[in-house]
A and B are shown apart, each in its own frame.
Chain A
Amino acid sequence: MRGFTLALVVLGIVSGTALIAAKLYSSRGDSSGGDVAAPDSSTLPAPPTAAFTIPRPRALSTPVGTTRWAPVLRTTSVRAAPRRQARALERLGPVTPEGTSNIVPVLARRADDAGQLWMRVRVPALPVNREGWVPRVTLGGYTVVSTRLVVDLDRFEATLYSSDKPVFEAPIGVGTANAPTPRGEFYVRNQLSSYSSPFYGPIAFGTSARSATLTDWPAGGFVGIHGTNRPDLLPGRVSHGCIRMRNADILRLAELMPIGTPLTIK
């Protein structure tokens, strides 16, 4: 009796092992035959083709002659040094007389003892070339430009440079002896168009330059760069300080010169 029982146990073990082996074999060898098919690399679909490709990363280009500007976000004092206790030179507000954002070229950066950032900016005020320090928090984001405009008062000529290469040149009219165009370092701060005034031509650029003699002029006596209805007077000393161009020239300049472009009047 014990021998018969042992035989049954052995038979059961052998049968069970055979069934498991058969199951495993059928799963590996024939995926259609089993309930659960183990994945096989040969049965995986090919990965989908990418809808588009990412281009090769390129290092930042650093064109020569770049400068940056930022809008003034809130009224602040321009100080003689990068600290709160320094002498106040000017008040700088967020809006120009034309209603545009008051932008300033950012020339340098320094942190004070408390770690607050201060930026040295060019100021649209007299005397010419005035610079001072404002807290970084009073300025907006930076915009980079790689152009600069040079106005030669003696040659009656304006030249626009892009990455230090001349890309535009035009004859101009400048201020008379009684209302001279100021010499110095300035910048272009806004663009006016679609107004109705043949005197100013189709487009006028506002600059940070101010007339030293017409300080009581409406809106502060700022110098503009604009077209004209008297191209026959150009080139020459014909204006109240503004820089006049033929209308075709100012339109072409508008296509090439971004706001914030530094302006040298020499």
Chain B
Amino acid sequence: MRAHGSDGYLDGLTLAEVDCDGALREAFERVGGDSRADFLRKATVGGAVLLGAFALTDDADAAPNPGDAAILNYALTLEYLQAAFYTEAEREKVLRGNARKAASVVGPVERAHVSAFRKVLGSAAVKRPTFNFRGATENEKLFLKTAVAFEDLAVAAYKAQAPRLKAPSVLAVAVSIHSVEARHAGWMRRLSGVLPAAQAFDDAIDKPEALRIVDSTGFVAAAAKTKTKKKPRFTG
């Protein structure tokens, strides 16, 4: 699957080429698979995690469900993407005015989401992918365009997964984040000059479509290789 960025520089990368450590694909694959391998993986990864998660609450109705952990990991991956994007935009200090203000408010929120998911998932949390935003954090117009895409994606992805959550206590968290992402989407749309809420209802975006969208950005990159076991040939 090829990316088709409207600004040219996004062309030519695929998720398969750049996501060498498989972090993103791994997170997607944990959601909704039907194979036995998927089931076993969910059972292994999810059960222990959610036992930990539910130990934090007094929700007697909550039953540990392995699939919920996979969905949380999927959400974490999208949160990684958003948090890294806004954090880099804040650091690069290119944005001005309302866009800068928005990044400085939304960035901390997305980082808080990441922090919460990582804490509840513990060692089962999917690892943080490496990102290359390819200048999208260094140009205000590109920043806003990308922010709208990310926020719309997050809203639609949460919407798709929320009905699949088994535990009401996890659903309560998901819904509380979903509404915040919707506020972000409206804010970024407003800053971009896009009508914030033109539809009577929104469609959900399921895993394959979300994967295609993330794929098309080319923002998930292979980590730089900085270590090796080769014998040195320095001057000595």
Report how many residues on chain A are interfacial, defined by Cβ distance under 8 Å: 64
Known pairs A52-B120, A103-B226; A218 contacts B176 (CB<8 A): no
Verify if B2 is at the interface (C-beta below 8 Å from A): no
With both chains docked as a complex, state the minimum distance between the C-beta of B54 and any C-beta of chain A, in angstroms: 6
B61 to chain A: which residues have CB within 8 Å?
A: 48
Taken together as a complex, chains A and B put the C-alpha atoms of A1 and B171 apart, in Å, by: 69
A204 contacts B120, C-beta separation under 8 Å: no
- Chain B residues whose C-beta falls within 8 Å of the C-beta of A144 in the assembled complex: 91
Whether the Cβ atoms of B135 and A100 lie closer than 8 Å is: no
Q: Which residue of chain A has its CB nearest to the CB of B12?
A: A137
Residues in chain A near residue B108, CB distance under 8 A: 57-60
Q: How far, in whole Å, are A217 and B235 apart by their CA atoms in the complex?
A: 7
Q: How many residues of B contact A (CB 8 A)?
A: 58
B172-A190 in contact (CB<8A): no
B228 touches A239 (CB 8 A): no
CA distance A151 to B60 in the complex (A): 61
Chain A, residue nearest B88 (CB): A142
A15 at the interface (CB under 8 A from B): no
| B contact residues around A98 at 8 Å (CB) | 228, 230, 232-233
- Picked from A58, A109, A200, A224, the residue with its CB within 8 Å of the CB of B111 is A58
Q: Is A191 part of the contact surface with B, judged by Cβ < 8 Å?
A: yes
**A:177-212 near B, CB below 8 Å:** 179, 189-197, 199-200, 204, 206, 211
The complex places the Cα of A167 from the Cα of B120 at a distance, in Å, of 33
Contact B232 A206 (CB under 8 A): yes
Chain A residue nearest to B168 in the complex (CB) = A48
**Residues of A close to B105: CB separation below 8 A:** 57
Asked whether A179 and B138 contact (CB < 8 A) given A57-B112, A59-B108, A100-B226, the answer is no
Interface digits, A151-191 against B, CB 8 Å rule (1 contact, 0 not)? Answer: 00000000000000000000000010001000000000111
**Is A76 interfacial (CB-CB < 8 Å)?**
no
Interface-located stretch among B28-36, B125-133, B156-164: B125-133
B177 within 8 A of A: yes
In the complex the two chains form, is A51's CB within 8 Å of B56's CB? Answer: yes
Q: Is A39 positioned at the interface, with any CB of B under 8 Å from its CB?
A: no
Residue contact B132 to A219, C-beta cutoff 8 Å: no
> In whole Å, how far is B124's beta carbon from the nearest beta carbon of chain A?
14
In the complex, per-residue mask of A220-239: 1 if CB is within 8 Å of any chain B CB, else 0: 01111010000000000001
Minimum C-beta distance from B95 to chain A (A): 13
With both beta carbons as reference points, the residue of chain A lying nearest to B234 in the complex is identified as A224
**Chain A to chain B contacts (Cβ below 8 Å), 14 pairs:** A48-B59, A48-B168, A49-B57, A51-B53, A54-B112, A60-B87, A60-B108, A62-B91, A68-B91, A101-B224, A191-B228, A200-B234, A226-B232, A260-B226
List the 10 closest A-B pairs by CB distance, nearest first: A224-B234, A57-B108, A141-B132, A48-B168, A101-B224, A51-B169, A71-B224, A219-B233, A241-B235, A259-B226
